[in-house]
Amino acid sequence: MNTSYKKSTLLWLITTLIVFLVAIAFGLTMRMEQAEMVKIGPLNFYVLMTSHGLLMAGVWFVAGMAGIEYILSTYFPVPRWGGMIAYVCTITGVVILLISTFLTKFHAGWYFLYPLPFYAKVMESGPLLFLVALTILGVGWLIWSLVLIFTILRNFTVAQALAWHHISGRPGPTVAPFILISFVSLIGVTACILAAVVLLVLYYLEFLKSGSMSNDPLLMKNLTFFFGHTLVNEMLYLGLAVLYELFPRMAGKPAYKTSWYVGLSWNATLLIVLFAYFHHLYMDFAQPVAFQFVGQIMSWFAPLPAACVTIFSVLTTVYRSNMKWSLASLLYFFGVMFWAIGGVGAILDAVIANNFVLHNTQWVPAHFHTYNLLGNVFFSLAFTSWFADEIGNKKIAPGLVKLIFSLLVTGGVGFVLAFYLGGAFSVPRRVDTYNDVVNKGVSLAQMAVVFASLYLVGMVIYTFDFTKRCARQLFS
Amino acid sequence: MTIQKEVFLVFILMFLIIVSVFFLVFLSSRRSGALQNVNSKRAIFFFIAFGTVSLVLGISLPKSPYFLYAKEAPAQRIFVVARQFSFTLSKSPINSADDLGKSAGSEFKLPKDEIIEFNVSSLDVNHGFSLYKDGVLLAQVQAMPGYVNRLRWKFSESGNYDILCLEYCGIAHGGMSAKITVE
């Protein structure tokens, strides 16, 4: 393989790990404020909340994309300029984003629910800088997605890339699950970025009218969650595509094949995932009830194809495999476990009758932190660990594997458990301090601070070790 | 037991089942020997999951809050308007900031065991209108500008209820609240 692929992937991964540490520190500070251990005030709390959410969503999206690009380049030549434009746009976008939040104190939250950006500002330039940052990120990521899609389409037709011949049993080229899942996920990514483009254009038009409300709040909310929910969902699938490629190798098993049910599952996922976002609007009773029902039905059927097939495949791969475990394979295996657990938390919340008493409580960050912090992040760290073993001069020390894995799992589980308990005790999310009605939130935040600190220590050690083993390759 | 705690217990049960399965499979990886009849086991796994999903949907969808007391006439309509960072409740419609003078302030008295229809809207950004009793969230609906969300509710207990904003709405979101007394 061309070393430029390795270098650019390495650059993405080092950038991702550093930004992740910064974003964890933001989140930890927020929990410390809620735990009454520090006093930063509501404005700084919401500035951190906005920055934390966007950095986390962005950083693990690009980590997933970097993994896809690297593995895809082992199949076909991938044009370099897509990833390079995305990298420049990501760095530029993140810098402008942090200027908008920390310097102009823009604090509308990562999904900037309309029309809050026109209210949650301290300086007039705040919302504009924020929108410019998102536009730059969106343009870079859209170009990257399209480059990867067209790389696949230079080698397969759309029908082949969707593995329709594997489903129907007709003859055709072999399409690896990695190609199928990447293609399905990249289509979803493109769809949600296009929704973000529409959303941003509507914001710009309103901004030009000096913020006099001219858009429909329900339409804007639908666009916001179509973009936000789908992006977060698809970035999980980007990680899974790489898992399908690497995990059987780690277990010493033959590569996974695209059987008819794998093909059917991911084609179903392509459609189902686009409609699950309706569950974010259950408490908007003005939304047609049919959409709400579609939201619950799709949210409950969504795990069937992708999750059931993946979970079953991973379990049967490991069962009596006599495999030698590495940090990468541990992270993949238990990442799938936590993804499943987070999925249970998610579908319980996706029951409309449950959502009536769980929506916007800490149950929400509980489940999404489970499948992100312990699922998606584990998938990307598994790829990162595998990649380090591929290009690094030395393997990671066995003692360090146990230490890092124990810290991440203990810290992560304790951290999300505090959120689940918060949901069970009706503690609201996204508040800087807890009033007397929901004061159980304080002690739960203290618990979260302890466990988040363990997770942070684990990530610091991981990042230090990864950088020490691989950074030299950047300049070789 | 509250719905939230029931959901939490179901979650913990599922957590334990999933962790047990993964851990047993992890322990089995020390040995050799592939799983037999993988296809039939996968089919059983899938159909159990499909059946569970269909059952849950069939039972839970009709319990959605949109149908609460839908076939009965409400005894009272209460108009709720949220704005940064307070709630205003009134027995007459509030269409603009000019109507806020008709309201009864942020404390309100309502009867027990009668169906109340809350007509909830916002004058600025999205807010959340939620009813808490003794720290337990009982019901909620979003307050969205330009739309009216109608929530029907019957208070079965007398006493003080807290209204909290549950949708992030800006810097003082955490302090946005009101009270209802039911008697």
Q: Is the pLDDT of residue A122 over 70?
A: yes
Instruction: Taking residues A131-153, report their average pLDDT.
Output: 96
Q: Chain B neighbours among A 142-201 (CB < 8 Å)?
A: none
Which run of H or E residues covers position B138? strand B136-143
DSSP secondary structure string for all residues of B73-85: --SEEEEEEEETT
pLDDT (0 to 100) of residue A3: 80
Q: Is the pLDDT of residue A374 over 90?
A: yes
Instruction: Taking residues A262-273, report their average pLDDT.
Output: 92
Instruction: Give chain A positions within 8 Å (CB) of B131.
Output: none
- Out of A109, A119, A357, closest to residue B124 by CB: A119
Taking the alpha carbons at both ends of chain B, their separation in whole angstroms is 23
- Tally of CB atoms within 10 A around A17: 21
Closest CA to A417 of A389, A380, A470, A455: A455
pLDDT (0 to 100) of residue B103: 59
- Tally of CB atoms within 10 A around A43: 16
**Under 8 Å between Cβ of A199 and A220:** yes
Between chains, do B50 and A217 touch, taking CB under 8 Å as contact? no
The contacts found for B45-50 with CB under 8 angstroms, 24 or more apart, are: B45/A308, B45/A312, B46/A304, B46/A308, B46/A312, B49/A303, B49/A304, B49/A308, B50/A304
How many residues in total does chain A contain?
476
Confidence of residue A402 (pLDDT cuts 50, 70, 90): very high
Q: Rounded to an integer, what is the distance from CA B157 to the centroid of its chain?
A: 19
Q: Is the pLDDT of residue A375 over 80?
A: yes
Dihedral sign, CA of A63, A68, A73, A78? Answer: negative
Q: Classify B151 in phi/psi space as left (phi over 0), alpha (psi -120 to 50) or beta.
A: beta
A320 touches chain B (CB under 8 A): yes
**What mean pLDDT value characterizes chain A?**
94
Sorted by sequence, the CB contacts under 8 Å of residue B102 that are 6+ apart come out as B90, B92, B94
A116 touches chain B (CB under 8 A): yes
Burial of B96 from C-beta contacts in 10 A (0-12 / 13-18 / 19+): exposed
pLDDT (0 to 100) of residue A278: 96
Between chains, do B66 and A285 touch, taking CB under 8 Å as contact? yes
Name the token pair of A286. 């003005």
The pLDDT tens digits of the residues spanning B80-90 come to: 999 999 999 99
Sorted by sequence, the CB contacts under 8 Å of residue A151 that are 6+ apart come out as A72, A76, A77, A78, A79
Between chains, do B57 and A296 touch, taking CB under 8 Å as contact? yes
- Spatial distance between the Cα atoms of A363 and B166, rounded to a whole number of angstroms: 13
- Out of A107, A217, A439, closest to residue B145 by CB: A217
Sorted by sequence, the CB contacts under 8 Å of residue A288 that are 6+ apart come out as none
Among B2, B10, B15, B69, the residue to mutate for chain A (most A Cβ within 10 A): B15
**What mean pLDDT value characterizes chain B?**
92
- Out of B7, B147, B175, closest to residue A286 by CB: B147
- Spatial distance between the Cα atoms of B53 and B58, rounded to a whole number of angstroms: 9
Task: Report the complex ipTM.
Answer: 0.95
- Spatial distance between the Cα atoms of A451 and A445, rounded to a whole number of angstroms: 10
Confidence of residue B107 (pLDDT cuts 50, 70, 90): low
Instruction: Taking residues B109-133, report their average pLDDT.
Output: 96
For residues B112 and A120, which has the higher predicted lDDT (pLDDT)? B112
Instruction: Taking residues A50-71, report their average pLDDT.
Output: 96
How many angstroms away from the CA of B102 is the closest CA of chain A? 25
Instruction: Taking residues A38-46, report their average pLDDT.
Output: 97
pLDDT (0 to 100) of residue B106: 55
Instruction: Give chain B positions within 8 Å (CB) of A357.
Output: 2-4, 137-140
Phi then psi dihedrals of residue B48, to 5 deg? -65, -45
A110 touches chain B (CB under 8 A): no
The amino acid occupying position A140 is: G
The pLDDT tens digits of the residues spanning A186-213 come to: 999 999 999 999 999 999 998 888 766 6
pLDDT (0 to 100) of residue B33: 79
Among A356, A410, A419, the residue to mutate for chain B (most B Cβ within 10 A): A356
Instruction: Give chain B positions within 8 Å (CB) of A438.
Output: 132, 135, 164
- Out of A42, A325, A420, closest to residue B174 by CB: A42
Between chains, do B144 and A431 touch, taking CB under 8 Å as contact? no
The pLDDT tens digits of the residues spanning B134-170 come to: 999 999 999 999 999 999 999 999 999 999 999 999 9
How many angstroms away from the CA of A271 is the closest CA of chain B? 18
Q: A153-167, A278-292, A445-459, B102-116: lowest mean pLDDT where?
A: B102-116
A438 touches chain B (CB under 8 A): yes
SS3 B122: strand
Instruction: Taking residues A386-390, report their average pLDDT.
Output: 93
How wide is the angle at C-alpha A125 spanned by C-alphas A123 and A126, nearest 5°?
Answer: 70
- Out of A109, A345, A359, closest to residue B168 by CB: A109
Between chains, do B29 and A323 touch, taking CB under 8 Å as contact? yes
**Under 8 Å between Cβ of A185 and A238:** yes
- Please give the share of chain A, as a percent, with pLDDT higher than 90: 89
Instruction: Give chain A positions within 8 Å (CB) of B33.
Output: 320
Closest CA to A468 of A382, A383, A392, A378: A392
Instruction: Taking residues A446-468, report their average pLDDT.
Output: 97
Q: Rounded to an integer, what is the distance from CA A384 to the centroid of its chain?
A: 15
For residues A236 and A210, which has the higher predicted lDDT (pLDDT)? A236
Dihedral sign, CA of B25, B29, B31, B35? Answer: positive
- Spatial distance between the Cα atoms of A380 and A148, rounded to a whole number of angstroms: 18
The pLDDT tens digits of the residues spanning A302-345 come to: 888 888 889 999 999 999 999 999 999 999 999 999 999 999 99
Instruction: Give chain A positions within 8 Å (CB) of B132.
Output: 426, 437-438
How many angstroms away from the CA of A408 is the closest CA of chain B? 16
Between chains, do A430 and B168 touch, taking CB under 8 Å as contact? yes
Name the token pair of A364. 């929400």
Name the token pair of A467. 């950088």
Confidence of residue A4 (pLDDT cuts 50, 70, 90): confident
Between chains, do A221 and B169 touch, taking CB under 8 Å as contact? no
Instruction: For the sheet with B127-133, list strands across it.
Output: B107-110, B177-182, B159-164, B127-133, B136-143
How wide is the angle at C-alpha A424 spanned by C-alphas A423 and A427, nearest 5°?
Answer: 45
Q: How far is CA A191 from CA A84, A230, A407, in A?
A: 22, 9, 37
Between chains, do A113 and B167 touch, taking CB under 8 Å as contact? yes
Between chains, do B15 and A340 touch, taking CB under 8 Å as contact? no
- Spatial distance between the Cα atoms of B33 and B22, rounded to a whole number of angstroms: 17
Which run of H or E residues covers position B178? strand B177-182
pLDDT (0 to 100) of residue A254: 92
How many angstroms away from the CA of A9 is the closest CA of chain B? 31
Instruction: Give chain A positions within 8 Å (CB) of B85.
Output: none
Confidence of residue A120 (pLDDT cuts 50, 70, 90): confident
- Out of B7, B50, B57, closest to residue A297 by CB: B57
Sorted by sequence, the CB contacts under 8 Å of residue B69 that are 6+ apart come out as B115, B152, B153, B154
A212 touches chain B (CB under 8 A): no
A396 touches chain B (CB under 8 A): no
- Spatial distance between the Cα atoms of B167 and A282, rounded to a whole number of angstroms: 13
Q: Is the pLDDT of residue B36 over 90?
A: no
**Under 8 Å between Cβ of A276 and A229:** yes
Between chains, do B140 and A283 touch, taking CB under 8 Å as contact? yes
- Out of B30, B57, B145, closest to residue A213 by CB: B145
Confidence of residue B37 (pLDDT cuts 50, 70, 90): confident
Among B59, B144, B160, the residue to mutate for chain A (most A Cβ within 10 A): B144
